[in-house]
Amino acid sequence: MSDGPDHTPWPAELAARYRAAGHWRGQTFGALLTSLAEAHAERTAVVGESPAGPARWSYRSLDERAHRLAAGLYGLGLRSGDRVVLQLPNVPEFLPVVFALFRLGAWPVFALPAHRDSELCHFASHSEAKAVLTVGTHERYDHAALAGRVAERVASVRHVIVLGPSDGAGAVALDELDAPPRELPEPDPEGVAFLQLSGGTTGLPKLIPRTHDDYLYSVRESARICALSPESVYLATLPVAHNYPLSSPGVLGALHAGSTVVLAPRPDADTVFELIERERVTITGVVPPLAAVWVQAAEHTRRDLSSLRVLQVGGAKCGRELAERIGPALGCSLQQVFGMAEGLVNYTRLDDPDEVVLGTQGRPISLDDEIRVVDPCSDAEVAPGEVGALLTRGPYTIRGYYRAGEHNAVAFTPDGFYRTGDLVRRTAGGHIEVVGRIKEQINRGGEKVAAEEVENHLMAHPGVLDAAVVAMPDEQLGERSCAYVVPVADAPTPTAPELRRFVRERGVAAFKVPDRVLVVDAFPVTGVGKISKRELRAAIAAQEFSDQPTKG
């Protein structure tokens, strides 16, 4: 599974254009932090709750921590180009850790706290990671033990580094990696800075190589579009390793602008409203189901939310009805964000008219973001205003996944456009409305579930002959996952709860466990004999099937 290059570069003439336009400036994230520490020295950079207690670090302190940690990681044996699977929740240490790795030129692989054995082992083995850096215990789950199992199973992993208390034998405490700063060679700004995770449509999640130059461009422009300044306070509500709270404008955009970053340990309204009041938060970003919960909670809250200027909503489609309630309920502006870890990010602008803010998912960051809306069968552009599949390429959209040659051949057009799998309509004003998708993915309130990945887990069960996972509409999350299963003849038919438990016990993120499992005799097929997921989706949407197995 390690076919294909680590990083597919942009063609030379486009790279030259992006440099000439000033998009790519030859700056690394390490160099950025150095200049931020000079410009904002004693200003508060990061506020959060670490296992060691509450933290409030200045830009200078963040910079020093990152320098010392980079030296400590170097001392442990990590070098430029090494991969490090990172699984940290929203703790302040996330920032010195990523900047230390950036300075070292080691590539963080951004796992989410929800990921479990199957995902982490895949990230570690596919990237041949040398280390796993994690937290001891988080939300009553023992992440240090999880990292220990990954190290046992994946030969390349030599170090487990743990933040906070852990009883894992052989693990290194992050606190111990504190060494006098040392000169380190500056990484190549056009080289890979880290590996992001793709939402995925295939059996195993793909890794996304992002460079210092391309990512910094999107971070800088996002901070500008969101009007961040040293007076802004950005609250990271969603898991910070995800591309949206990381860079749209996210914690990196906030630091870029000299703002203060506050990390929310949990996204519930009680926790977040208290933080908004206490830290005078001005902007945060959420997924639609969370926005809906906050809108309701705001009715009864006694917290002062008056500092909040902008609530970003993205990751999944924000329906018009919800969009209209956000401003009045929370006393702030709505900004819609439609982005993807592969690159392209669209924002409604803060001065866009209501019609655009409420009814579209915005427009691209850059004039150099090339957008094509095409017929999914022929790749021919559709007429203006018609629905089609969205293809894109540009100065911060990848040209290929990490070591995935075969998949790259289908995920990108021959001329380098990324096939987003989203169905969109473009308005006359150039704004994008997301209307659906052609990719086999369930968008569970912003959390992406690749149908094939879950199908493979189900088919590992001895009683399962075939499985097909589709989205079903859900009032709360927008969508949930429904697994149709055909059992093996002549074997005991597994029950729905048994199959859900089976998938969970294979060690996957809880959000990937099918919300509903329906055992059926056979799948409907298309004219050419393929499983008709369209019919399965229609059936579940119409509630044609009951939860009762039809067999056995």
Residues that bind ligand OOB (CB under 6 A): 199, 243-244, 248, 314-317, 336-341, 345, 361, 420, 422, 434, 437, 443, 448
Q: In terms of CB distance, is 61 or 243 closer to ligand OOB?
A: 243
For residue 199, the minimal CB distance to ligand OOB (Å) is 4
Q: What angle do CA 301, 306, 310 make, to 5 degrees?
A: 105
Tokens found for residue 277:
């009041």
Q: Is 510 helix (H, G, I), strand (E, B) or coil?
A: helix
The letter for the amino acid at 441 is: Q
Tokens found for residue 97:
């850790």
Q: In terms of CB distance, is 29 or 57 closer to ligand OOB?
A: 29
Q: In terms of CB distance, is 328 or 436 closer to ligand OOB?
A: 436
Cis bond before residue 5 (omega within 30° of 0): no
Q: In terms of CB distance, is 338 or 402 closer to ligand OOB?
A: 338
* Contacts by residues 488-496 (CB-CB < 8 Å, ≥ 24 positions apart): 488/462, 488/463, 488/464, 489/465, 491/462, 491/463, 492/463, 492/552, 493/463, 493/519, 493/549, 493/551, 493/552, 494/461, 494/463, 494/464, 494/519, 495/519, 495/549, 496/547, 496/549
For residue 96, the minimal CB distance to ligand OOB (Å) is 23
Closest CA to 378 of 364, 367, 391, 360: 391
For residues 146-172, b (16+ Cβ closer than 10 Å) or e, as one string?
bbbbbbeebeebebbbbbbebebeebb
For residue 261, the minimal CB distance to ligand OOB (Å) is 17
Q: In terms of CB distance, is 502 or 511 closer to ligand OOB?
A: 511
For residue 221, the minimal CB distance to ligand OOB (Å) is 13
Q: In terms of CB distance, is 191 or 314 closer to ligand OOB?
A: 314
For residue 19, the minimal CB distance to ligand OOB (Å) is 24
Tokens found for residue 383:
């007429």
For residue 377, the minimal CB distance to ligand OOB (Å) is 20
For residue 348, the minimal CB distance to ligand OOB (Å) is 10
Closest CA to 534 of 422, 450, 440: 440
Helices (H), 8-130: 12-20, 29-40, 59-76, 94-104, 117-127
Q: In terms of CB distance, is 339 or 395 closer to ligand OOB?
A: 339
Q: In terms of CB distance, is 168 or 250 closer to ligand OOB?
A: 250
**Distance (Å, whole) CA 84 – CA 158:** 10
Residue number of the CB closest to ligand OOB reads 339
**Distance (Å, whole) CA 215 – CA 117:** 29
Q: In terms of CB distance, is 136 or 362 closer to ligand OOB?
A: 362
Q: Which residue has the tokens 């949206």?
A: 244
State the first-to-last Cα distance of the chain, in angstroms, to the nearest integer: 38
Contact 276, 286 (CB under 8 A): no
From the CB of residue 332, how many other CB atoms can be counted at a distance below 10 Å? Answer: 20
Q: In terms of CB distance, is 199 or 400 closer to ligand OOB?
A: 199
For residue 285, the minimal CB distance to ligand OOB (Å) is 7
For residue 345, the minimal CB distance to ligand OOB (Å) is 5
Q: In terms of CB distance, is 61 or 420 closer to ligand OOB?
A: 420
For residue 160, the minimal CB distance to ligand OOB (Å) is 27
**Distance (Å, whole) CA 196 – CA 453:** 18
**Distance (Å, whole) CA 85 – CA 196:** 11
For residue 33, the minimal CB distance to ligand OOB (Å) is 22
Q: In terms of CB distance, is 78 or 389 closer to ligand OOB?
A: 389
**Distance (Å, whole) CA 326 – CA 313:** 10
Q: In terms of CB distance, is 319 or 385 closer to ligand OOB?
A: 319
Tokens found for residue 436:
């659906």
Q: Is 539 helix (H, G, I), strand (E, B) or coil?
A: helix
Contact 419, 392 (CB under 8 A): no
For residue 214, the minimal CB distance to ligand OOB (Å) is 14
For residue 240, the minimal CB distance to ligand OOB (Å) is 13
For residues 366-379, b (16+ Cβ closer than 10 Å) or e, as one string?
bebbbbbbbeeeee
